Amino acid sequence: MTQLKDFFAKIVSYVAIVAMVFNQIGYAMHLERDIYPKAEDAIRVMSFNVLYGGDGEHGIQNRFGIVTRTVTEYYPDSLGVQEATPLWMLWFNVFLPEYDYVGVGRDDGRFKGEYAAIFYLKDKYRVVQSETFWLSQTPEKPSLGWDAACNRVCTWAVLENKASGERYVHMNTHLDHVGSAARQNSVEMILEKAASFSLPVVCTGDFNFRQGSGLYNAVTSSTLQDTKFSAPDTMNYQTFHGFAETVDPNRIIDFIFTNSRMTPLTYKVI
């Protein structure tokens, strides 16, 4: 993997990316478009918490160029973003012209609040079906669930390759950082939805629980697997840094899960 400048790691939230094939789906993370061996039907999926704001050197204005450059260099088939404010979404629409997206603002179901949007290569894929549901007792409308501090959502899309007709489901979410009951119930809702598809499924997100925790084990003992461990080409690195210099490989709260209809090939954190 191409080496990133030290300052890059300080300014950008770590990104998880995978390349897969549909069972044949291959799943891998890349820093450059052609750096990994290509399987004929491999896809690349990325999860990216872009951080809603920030001050000084960590402000959006100082990170935006690096964020969009990372996406264009890795060139994922689909990308799940977290903490994408309306300003982030506006910039993505302008500076990622090869991509379209599905998703809504979590506070009004339209434009207000953060998005857990899914971007996809619009010339390669068409959206067959998509939905955003709220992680609450009333999932069909903007709402706060259980003991959550914020409205939380899960967005999903069935993406169809225009050339081959192959389909896969991309789910994307950001679980609450405060409410334990909210995280527990949100996981149950997401797992139920993931199990309802008879297609390859990839689920990306900032889950706000750690590898090895009870909720992590609940996910990986279901129909989903952690690509960090199922991919033959993998690595162990933190996905959360808080703009600190300290490296702690146990600070992993962002994951890319897949069902058994996908075969992970490569997993990387950048």
For residues 102 and 127, the answer to whether their CB atoms sit within 8 Å is yes
pLDDT at 251: 78
pLDDT at 39: 62
Is 1 inside any structural domain?
no
CATH number of the CATH domain containing 128: 3.60.10.10
Name the amino acid, one letter, at 270: I
Closest Cα partner for 196 from 156, 235, 230, 241? Answer: 156
Is 205 inside any structural domain?
yes
In angstroms, the CA 216 to CA 88 distance is 29
Supply the pTM of this predicted model: 0.87
In angstroms, the CA 147 to CA 129 distance is 30
- How much of the chain exceeds pLDDT 90, in percent? 71
Is 173 inside any structural domain?
yes
In angstroms, the CA 12 to CA 142 distance is 29
For residues 145 and 162, the answer to whether their CB atoms sit within 8 Å is no
What is the number of domains present in the chain? 1
pLDDT in tens, 205-249: 999 999 999 999 999 999 999 999 999 999 887 886 555 555 666
Please report which confidence band the pLDDT of residue 29 belongs to, taking 50, 70 and 90 as the band edges.
very low
Q: Which two tokens stand for residue 196?
A: 């309802």
User: What pairing do the DSSP bridges indicate for beta strands 201-206 and 167-174?
Assistant: parallel
Structural domain for 101, as ranges:
6-269
Is 196 inside any structural domain?
yes
Is 41 inside any structural domain?
yes
In angstroms, the CA 85 to CA 133 distance is 18
